[in-house]
Amino acid sequence: MSTGEATTGGPGPDTGTPFPVSRQAGETDRRAPARAAGDLLARLLGAGRRPPEGTSTTAHDLTVRHRLLLALAVLLTVSLFLSYQGVHGDANPLRTSSAPAVLSLDTAVYALGRAQEDARAPAPTSDFQKQISAAAQNLSVAAADGVGGPAGRQTLRTITGLITVYAVKVQQAQLQPHGSVLREAYLSYATSVLNDKAAGIQVRLTALQRQQRAAVHRQTSFGPLLWLSWTATLLLTLALGAALVETQLFLRRRFRRRYNRHLLAAGALSLALVATAVLFTLWTQHGMADTRTLLDRRLTGRHIPDAGRQTASYLRHTGFRAAAAVWILIGGILLMALAETGLRRHLDDYRFRPR
């Protein structure tokens, strides 16, 4: 028996002697699942079937790895861009419109509350007019910030008109003698315009506040879809890294090349892109979560400008980080170019080599 054989087979049909089974055949059996998986991957990538045993498979192996690297680079770029935009796409609108709109509505509600206190004064006061002007001005700001869309802007126009009616009736009441029936009638009508439970100013403003805070919650939430997209991005990063390492080892075995600089650069670039995107996303999401916590309750008095300053601090640089999304696309194109050039010379060598 040769040294390359083992006696682990079953008995023969006549003699009961074990059949010799070569080690090479055993290794072939063990490699069969891996080859089947490789053939499936090759077909998915459009690289065709693996050449039969005994012929050179280098060209086929290079093609499979080349297409796999390009496919993973494309998938990683798309997944990273969508995941990044899923967070940063809402950060700038939150900073420029949603958060200021919440503060404007809170200011208007607070100003109307102060105006109601001054409405009972015996004579017209400048404080009443200041509060009415502050409420109207902040409602205009909220409308400019797009509160509630077209329906919200229509509601704000209605509220502004009701505030004008309220102010006129209070002024008429203050021109009447203190304690007169007409004065009380004017004040009663003004109070109903302000506090009516069905269609008063305060009820409408409260509904807008709830709607705007709900918008802030939507913009700042990190929901299941974002978790899924970021998980897919990290898995694709690992898959691309593993493919780059395996391709580097393959080139070392087949071509005795210690390092492929293009593949090393592709690995470093992919890690840098993902690490930077994750870091920027953590900073932005943390600021958005702090903003949501701050605006989750109705603010009054001096707490409103304080909240405005804090919100600006929490959301600082979000515009710059949101604009960085374009660099993900640029980096993805560069990543694909590095994967392409890293294997192109070997592919061209085998493409024109006679069989």
Convert the pLDDT of each residue in 200-209 to its tens digit: 899 999 999 9
Q: What's the half-sphere exposure (Cβ side, CA atoms, 13 Å) at 352?
A: 5
3-state secondary structure of 1: coil
For residues 328 and 344, give the distance between their C-alpha atoms in angstroms, rounded to a whole number.
Answer: 24
For residues 142 and 78, give the distance between their C-alpha atoms in angstroms, rounded to a whole number.
Answer: 36
Q: What is the mean pLDDT of the chain?
A: 81
The answer to whether 100 touches 297, Cβ cutoff 8 Å, is: no
46, 47, 51, 55: CA torsion to nearest 10:
170
For residues 8 and 11, give the distance between their C-alpha atoms in angstroms, rounded to a whole number.
Answer: 9
Question: What are residue 187's phi and psi, to 5 degrees?
Answer: -65, -40
pTM: 0.76
**Residue 297 backbone class (left: φ over 0; alpha: ψ -120 to 50; beta: rest):** beta
pLDDT tops 90 at residue 242: yes
Confidence of residue 279 (pLDDT cuts 50, 70, 90): very high
Tell me what pLDDT residue 25 has: 46
Question: What are residue 122's phi and psi, to 5 degrees?
Answer: -60, -30
- Tell me the residue type at 302: R
Tell me what pLDDT residue 333 has: 94
More confident residue, 167 or 34: 167
